[in-house]
């Protein structure tokens, strides 16, 4: 992939998509695959904000049954199956153990049981997967004794058992989002990260004709014109609309912050979920031989560019988990290896507590606000992004003066994910790459899919490029691949989004410097630039102290 903005001159697109998170990437893919010319613009890195701040799950949203959002749950469960099909290397069934006890009605065994039966019914098509290994079984109830046998760290006090059901793990959301971007590019879309929208272009009163952008890499201002513009700014959608209206402080989008922390391994093979006394839930999720703990749901008021994970927010999450999980030994702040989070855009403002606010989405034709040829997307969740894009295209179809090709996104593999049988593909990859550690091949085959061969070909060029950097077998060849083929422009792009080298926390100064040295060579950085990049990465990986 190449940043088209560096060679962009006067091309006019059918669709200009603002925002390169999962929503914008899915819209760009759907539009390009239907025959439209598309420009995808992202002010930071693809999937670097809300789309990276997930619990690494593709799920139906069991808790939304409590608010009777049956339609949202059904849509999510259908999309879960579709994502299993089109991205088999990224999405895997995973057992979830939801413990039951006394206290609140919503935590009682019989109440949870009713929800599980409804969940099973609404996911009636969970067995319709292309790969048989992706099929999801029905839920089952287990005794307190069995709970402790499977997950000994579950809190014994008040435990009446657990319901075990299945959703799916998303093993690398950042690369999953990138697969949507690559799919868009495969069908002709042009994409650019670090391209910030600074203003709108108008032809006549209220007639949007594109956007004025700044190429942040080269510090140049350009125009990107399009017949239609789609605002997929996520938590920044209202700020983008303010640009179109020519005034700040318009209608404010409601935002919820969610954070996660990575710790040492606390659970075995199950996602362990519990309901707190306040009626909220939290999960401990097994991930890369560590535990991922999350998430929070707290309203954030302020500039989304100024939001960050704080020590207070982390401690609040740890306090909740310590109160409801474990049998004596507490998770201390020093046990946190890495923290991350982001802001979720919410479309509903009728609830006092953002935890109870819907995760539905809205697609607005801004013509009603006096802005012709502008469409804005608000809300949504990662799992339903593909279908959200399909809904956007329904609005596009009404507004654009040309026929569109048939939607293909639910019936075709994403780019790099063309794998009919995942287990067979992993076995074949290990056989054909016997000169590498089998565990490393297995891990890399999952996160690179059918692009694995290109990565390993680079690794074979020089011994240092194949040197393992962590327990998963990640290597410097990935750094080269990220720069040459995946539009990585900063060290943070490489460490946190193209590879998993930094997503378990700081890998150590030696590893950072090795990665930085290769990146500097590939990107032609000066010594001063490399020093700056290393400092930014250290800051990003540091657990907050305030």
Nearest-angstrom CA–CA distance, 60 and 124: 12
Measured between alpha carbons, how far is 107 from 90 in angstroms, rounded to an integer? 31
- Taking the C-alpha atoms of residue 7 and residue 339, their distance in angstroms, rounded to an integer, is 37
Strand extents, DSSP E, 317-371: 338-346, 361-365
Are 341 and 255 within 8 A, CB to CB?
no
- At 353 the pLDDT is 56
- List of residues 6+ apart from 237 with CB closer than 8 A: 19, 231, 253, 345, 376, 377, 378
- The pLDDT of residue 252: 75
Euclidean distance between CA atoms 495 and 515, whole angstroms: 8
The pLDDT of residue 279: 75
Average pLDDT over residues 102-108: 77
Highest-confidence segment of 246-250, 359-363, 383-387: 383-387
With a CB cutoff of 8 Å and minimum separation 6, the contacts of 339 are 259, 260, 261, 262, 309, 314, 543, 544
Angle between helices 438-448 and 452-459 (to 10 degrees): 130
State mean pLDDT over 277-300: 92
Average pLDDT over residues 208-215: 98
Environment class of 301 (CB within 10 Å of its CB; exposed 0-12, middle 13-18, buried 19+): exposed
| pLDDT band at residue 401 under the 50/70/90 scheme | confident
Quick one: pLDDT at residue 332?
Answer: 97
Give the pLDDT score at 351.
55
Question: CB under 8 Å to 138, separation ≥6 — which residues?
Answer: 120, 165
The alpha carbon of residue 103 and the mean position of all alpha carbons in its chain are separated, in whole angstroms, by 34
The encoded tokens of residue 233 equal: 């700014």
| Cα→Cα distances 411→32, 129, 390, Å | 15, 11, 13
- pTM value is 0.96
- Predicted pLDDT at 250: 65
Rounded distance, CA 541 to CA 325, Å? 26
Indicate if the pLDDT at residue 34 is higher than 60: yes
Q: Residue 251 above 50 pLDDT? A: yes
What is the residue-averaged pLDDT of the chain? 94
Q: Which of 222-226, 298-302, 373-377 has the lowest mean pLDDT?
A: 298-302
Give the model confidence (pLDDT) of 312-337 as tens digits: 999 999 999 999 999 888 999 999 99
β-strands 254-263, 271-275: how paired? Answer: unpaired
Quote the pLDDT of residue 263.
98
Higher per-residue confidence, 104 vs 469: 469
Q: State the DSSP string of 425-447.
A: HHHHHHHHTTTS-HHHHHHHHHH
User: Where would I find the beta strands (DSSP E) of 295-443?
Assistant: 298-300, 338-346, 361-365, 374-379
Distance, in Å, from the CA atom of 143 to the CA atom of 325, rounded to the nearest integer, reads 17
Q: Which domains does the chain have, with CATH numbers?
A: 92-169+254-356 (3.30.9.10), 422-541 (1.10.8.870)
User: Which pairing describes strands 12-18 and 38-41: parallel, antiparallel, or unpaired?
Assistant: parallel
User: H helices of 209-286, where?
Assistant: 237-245
Give the pLDDT confidence score for residue 328 in this predicted structure: 83
Q: What is the pLDDT of residue 352?
A: 52
Residue 12, SS3 per DSSP? strand
Distances in whole angstroms, Cα of residue 250 to Cα of each of 133, 232, 241, 451: 49, 17, 8, 45
> Which pLDDT band holds residue 213 (cuts at 50, 70, 90)?
very high
User: How many distinct helices (H) and strands (E) make up the chain?
Assistant: 15, 18
Per-residue pLDDT at 356 = 47
- What is the Cβ-side half-sphere exposure of residue 412, based on CA atoms within 13 angstroms? 17
Residues in a beta bridge with 341: 259
The CA distance from 234 to 256, in Å, is 12
d(CA 33, CA 21): 18
166's tokens: 């299945």
pLDDT tens digit sequence for 480-514: 999 999 999 999 999 999 999 999 999 999 999 99
SS3 sequence of 85-106: HHCCCCEEEEEEEEEECCCCHH
Q: Map tokens 């929800």 to a residue.
A: 115
Judge whether 98 and 165 are in contact, CB under 8 Å.
Answer: yes
Can you tell me whether residue 403 is helix, strand or coil? coil
Measured in degrees and rounded to the nearest 5, phi and psi for residue 203 equal: -120, 90
């Amino acid at each position: 992939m190449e940043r088209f903005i560096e060679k962009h001159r006067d091309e006019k697109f059918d669709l200009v998509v603002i925002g390169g998170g999962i929503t914008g990437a899915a819209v760009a893919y759907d539009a390009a695959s239907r025959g439209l010319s598309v420009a995808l613009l992202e002010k930071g890195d693809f999937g670097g904000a809300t789309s990276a701040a997930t619990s690494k799950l593709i799920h139906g949203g069991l808790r939304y049954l409590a608010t009777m959002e049956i339609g949202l749950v059904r849509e999510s469960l259908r999309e879960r199956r579709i994502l299993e099909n089109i991205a088999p290397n990224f999405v895997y069934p995973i057992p979830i153990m939801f413990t039951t006890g006394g206290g609140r009605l919503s935590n009682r065994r019989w109440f949870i049981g009713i929800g599980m039966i409804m969940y099973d019914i609404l996911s009636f098509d969970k067995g319709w997967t292309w790969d048989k290994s992706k099929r999801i079984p029905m839920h089952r109830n287990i005794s307190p004794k069995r709970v402790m046998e499977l997950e000994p760290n579950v809190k014994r006090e008040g435990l009446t058992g657990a319901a075990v059901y299945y959703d799916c793990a998303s093993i690398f959301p950042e690369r999953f989002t990138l697969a949507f971007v690559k799919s868009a590019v495969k069908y002709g879309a042009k994409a650019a990260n670090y391209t910030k929208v600074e203003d709108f272009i108008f032809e006549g009163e209220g007639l949007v004709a594109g956007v004025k952008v700044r190429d942040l890499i080269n510090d140049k201002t350009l125009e990107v014109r399009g017949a239609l513009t789609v605002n997929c700014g996520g938590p920044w959608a209202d700020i983008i609309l303010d640009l179109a209206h020519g005034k700040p402080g318009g209608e404010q989008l409601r935002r919820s912050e969610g954070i996660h922390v990575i710790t040492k391994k606390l659970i075995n093979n199950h996602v362990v979920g519990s309901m707190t006394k306040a009626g909220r839930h939290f999960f401990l999720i097994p991930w890369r031989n560590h535990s991922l703990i999350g998430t929070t749901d707290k309203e954030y008021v302020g500039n989304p560019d100024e939001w960050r994970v704080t020590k207070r927010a982390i401690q609040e999450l740890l306090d909740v988990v310590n109160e409801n999980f474990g049998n004596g030994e507490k998770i201390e702040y020093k046990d946190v290896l890495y923290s991350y989070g982001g802001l979720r855009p919410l479309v509903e403002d009728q609830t006092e507590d953002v935890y109870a606010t819907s995760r539905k989405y809205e697609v607005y034709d801004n013509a009603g606000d006096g802005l012709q040829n502008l469409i804005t997307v608000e809300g949504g969740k990662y799992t339903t992004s593909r279908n959200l894009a399909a809904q956007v295209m329904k609005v596009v179809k009404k507004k654009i003066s040309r026929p569109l090709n048939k939607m293909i996104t639910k019936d075709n593999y994403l780019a790099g994910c063309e794998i009919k049988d995942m287990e067979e593909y992993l076995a074949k990859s290990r056989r054909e790459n016997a000169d590498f550690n089998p565990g490393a091949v297995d891990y890399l085959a999952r996160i690179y899919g059918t692009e694995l061969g290109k990565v390993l070909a680079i690794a074979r060029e020089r011994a240092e490029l194949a040197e393992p950097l962590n327990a998963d077998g990640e290597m410097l060849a990935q750094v080269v691949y990220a720069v040459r083929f995946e539009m990585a422009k900063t060290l943070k792009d490489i460490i946190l989004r193209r590879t998993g080298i930094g997503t378990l926390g700081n890998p150590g100064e030696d590893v950072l410097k090795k990665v930085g040295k290769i990146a500097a060579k590939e990107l032609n950085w000066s010594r001063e630039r490399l020093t700056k990049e290393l400092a930014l990465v250290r800051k990003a990986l540091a657990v907050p102290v305030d």
